[in-house]
Structure 1
Amino acid sequence: MKKISVIFILPDLETGGAERIVTTIANHLSRDRFEPKILLLRKEGGYLSFLKNDVEIIDVNRERIRHSLKPILREIYRRKPDIVFSGFGEVNAYLSLFIKLFPKTKFIARETNVVTQHVTRKEIKFFYNFYNNYQRIIAQSDDMKKDLINNFNIRQSKIVKINNPVDFDFIESKLAASTKPESFKYNYKNVVAIGNLSARKGFDNLLKVFSRLKNENIILHILGDGKDREILHQMKDFLDLKQVIFHGRQENPYQFLKYADLFILSSRYEGFPNVLLEAGACGTYSLANNCPGGINEIIQDKTNGEISDIENHEDFAQKIMNILHYSYDKDAIKNSIKSRFSKNIILDMYEKVLLDLMKK
């Protein structure tokens, strides 16, 4: 039987959510049925080392997405894949205009955000008028699916909801090698937040919340880097938050999650937050801001976490205090994630989408 050739398209393989998902799918597709390749705008990023040797990398060597369209289309024309799987919002948008040039190839877009929350450039929103050209669109959450249907008139029959997978084997291997961070002080509660230091992640609100907890034995550890780093550092100093530590980007964030008393997701909006899944996979209880992007699909109230409105700084601070007075069943937290989002469950869904598409 002829194998189904699939080309996945991404800007690069930096260590982000979309990159991790596509790497996981490409690595685990059945080699009896599929022949996966990954087309990158730039051959760089931490996930390159995790990619299996039999996954061919096509490098078009372009910095900007709009400048990469011609070489992407050239590669699709030359290689004639059965399926093109675009895994990044802006690439999806531009590519949608050209799908009809390739009537023998099936096109799938995996949307990465709630579009109306994330996309502000009018030129990108214009391309969503052509999204119905895709044979399938994968939404990570109900919020994302509703947004595409209600605001962009995408046909419901084209959209498949598939949540993000958690690679428990990978996380368990990281946890096994993890020791308690030196910055975790004895007799203090250690709270962890992880994400890009940008407005979207809401760390400004989190610092305001912690300004109400200055007299408590609680340390906030923020992992990540980004364009708002200086602003957030200045804000920390202005609020005199001596018990807030910025750790920058960490090679092994699971070390922090393993020993954390609480994980906080402060985002203003999300796609489907991998870090919330990973906190649960580490057995860590979570408190998440009530924002769009599948939060309520992950959090099972009082089992693996709780949801609250971070804009109400006083209430959110009190919620942190209440949670830290209790201990939670780490195995129950892990199982709440594993039973719904384990790699095998989610990858079976992706494989089914690819196979079903080839029957049409």
Structure 2
Amino acid sequence: MKLNNNKINITFILPSLGAGGAERVMSFVAQNIDATKFNTTLLITDFEKNNAFSVTGITTIYLNKTRVLNAIPSLFKYVLNTKPDIVISAIGHVNTVMAYISIFAPKTKFVSREVNILSLLKSYELKSNFLGSFLSKRRFRYFDKIVCQSIDMRDDLKNNLNVSPDNLIVINNPITDNFTFNETSRKNNSILHFITVARLKKQKGHERIIQVLKKLDFPFHYTIIGDGPEKESIFNDLKTANLLQHVTHIENTKDVTKYLNENDLYLQGSFVEGFPNAVIESSAVGTPIIAFNAPGGINEIIEEGVNGFIVENEKDFINRLKNINEVYPFKNEEVSDCVMKKYHKEIIIKKYEDMFLSLMN
């Protein structure tokens, strides 16, 4: 095991530093693991000009490629020339590439961080070509360890993709530094304010939240943060439901914390998740959640009546919303404590460090 003056050399590989949750979480881990034990490099296949946020304190390399496919020769050359002790990658297509590069670097430990429940996700994503699907499904056999964000994700890989449980480890996402409880920053609203922060795509279930909201018989305001391929469909649904006057849409923002603080409830409509960052971040600032029951860590994050509720159908969702203040009052500080005790950055970063150390033993 390489420690102290002979640190463990780890390279984190991502397609970009865009606005996605995987990019934010993995770059956060890279910047916060113990610098006395690990020498960390962040390798990005995209261009620096496309960054949605900054990274400091670690070596960052940009391959300046428009697609991961175009970066394969550079990734291959990097791994063979630098010979890192550990390579950890995230997001499916990058993981697939690194799995097959690992064949040529037997002394390097390769770690994959998965981002979704793959057996269910296929219902909401475009089908890949035969070769891509073939290579993707077989990538897991080449990794020394596979990080699952939730128990549901681990069980899916074990039961549906026949991945050995010895190669699987559950490490939830950390709460990053911006999301902390501050009573003075919370806003008191005269009517209920709801918010959802998610990419506008089928998987996220915006349409079933709209079906709930159009049946409410009291005043409210709903903020949607995000952009994506279903934007036109979602706003057509809002128009049909006569809800446009109750909605604020923000495509991209660096002030998610501010908006979460300004709202009374986070509404989660997803059909399937990996481990929803926006849900733990909402709870971290003290904003409780009402979520449809769905695989992907929802039942790990939400403690019934403490930081939110999980509902089975529209009727239950509406009932919770109608009675949220009178029957189900939340204490904002308890909402925050509920997730901080499980997902504080120090807890999650240590789990990553322990995994890295165990790989080198």
TM-score of the aligned structures, taking structure 2 as reference length: 0.91
How big is the shift at 1:176? 8.6
Which residue matches 1:97? 100
Q: Structure 2 residue aligned with 1:24, among 18, 22, 28?
A: 28
Q: CA deviation at 1:117?
A: 1.9
Residue 323 of structure 1 corresponds to 324
CA distance in 2, matches of 1:124, 1:208: 36
Q: Does 1:220 align with 2:229?
A: no
Which residue of structure 1 lines up, in the alignment, with residue 37 of structure 2?
33
Query: Tell me, which stretches of 5 or more residues in structure 2 are unaligned?
Result: none
Residues 291-348 of structure 1 deviation map (CA, whole Å, 9 limit, x = unaligned): 1101101111111111013xx3333222221224343111111111111110000000
Counterpart selection for 1:209 from 212, 218, 230 = 212
Q: Distance in 1 between matches of 2:131 and 2:332?
A: 46
Counterpart of 1:240 (choices 227, 239, 242) is 242
Q: Is the 8 A contact 1:187 1:217 kept in 2?
A: no
**Is residue 134 from structure 1 mapped to residue 136 from structure 2 by the alignment?**
no
Q: How many residues align?
A: 348
Show the counterpart of 1:195. Answer: 198
Q: Which residue of 1 aligns with 2:179?
A: 171
Give yes or no for the alignment of 1:253 onto 2:256: yes
Q: For residues 42 and 137 of structure 1, do their structure 2 counterparts lie closer, same or farther at Cα, with a shift above 3 Å needed?
A: same
Q: What pairs with 1:1-360 in structure 2 (closer than 5 Å)?
A: 1-44=5-48, 45-46=50-51, 48-49=53-54, 51-53=55-57, 55-119=58-122, 120-121=127-128, 122-127=130-135, 128-167=137-176, 169-172=177-180, 180=187, 187-213=190-216, 215-241=217-243, 242-309=245-312, 312-325=313-326, 326-359=328-361
Contact 2:47 2:65 in 1 (8 A): no
How many Å apart are 1:171 and its aligned residue?
2.1
- Change over 3 Å in CA distance of 1:48–1:315 after alignment to 2: closer
String of CA shifts for 1:207-228, please: whole Å, max 9, x gaps: 1111111x31111111111122
* Equivalent residue letter for 1:317: I
CA distance 1:48–1:57, change in 2 (3 Å): farther
Using the TM superposition, give the Cα deviation of residue 232 of structure 1 relative to its aligned residue in structure 2, in angstroms: 1.3
Q: TM-score, normalised by structure 1?
A: 0.91
Distance 1:187 1:48 in 2: 34
CA distance in 2, matches of 1:324, 1:247: 27
Question: For the Cα contact (< 8 Å) 2:46–2:67, is it kept in 1?
Answer: no
CA deviation profile, 1:25-52 (whole Å, cap 9, x unmatched):
1111111111111111113344542x12
Distance 2:329 2:304 in 1: 15
CA distance in 2, matches of 1:315, 1:302: 14
The amino acid across from 2:141 in the alignment is N
Separation in 1 of the partners of 2:262 and 2:86?
42
Deviations 1:100-123 (A, max 9, x none): 210111100001111112244254
Q: Distance in 2 between matches of 1:95 and 1:101?
A: 10
User: Does the Cα contact within 8 Å between 1:212 and 1:314 map onto a contact in 2?
Assistant: no
Q: Structure 1: which amino acid aligns with 2:246? A: Q
Contact 1:262 1:324 in 2 (8 A): no
How many percent of aligned residue pairs carry the same amino acid? Answer: 31
Deviations 1:53-85 (A, max 9, x none): 3x1122122122222212111111111111111
- 8 Å Cα contact 2:172/2:275 also seen in 1: yes
Aligned partners of 2:88 and 2:113 also within 8 Å: yes
Question: What SS class does the counterpart of residue 171 from structure 1 fall into?
Answer: coil
Letter of the structure 1 residue corresponding to residue 146 of structure 2: I
Aligned CA RMSD, in angstroms, stands at 1.9
| Aligned-partner SS, 1:61 | coil
Q: After TM superposition, what 4+ stretches of structure 1 lie above 6 angstroms from structure 2?
A: none
Over 3 Å counting, the alpha-carbon distance change for 1:65 and 1:176 in structure 2 is farther
Paired residues of 2:284 and 2:340 also in contact (CA < 8 A): yes
Cα shift readout 1:149-193 (whole Å, capped 9, x = no counterpart): 1121111001110011112x42239x699575xxx9x53111111
**In 2, distance between residues paired with 1:255 and 1:42?**
29
Q: Following TM superposition, by how much is the alpha carbon of 1:249 offset from its aligned partner in structure 2, in angstroms?
A: 2.0
Worse-matched range after superposition: 153-162 or 15-24: 15-24
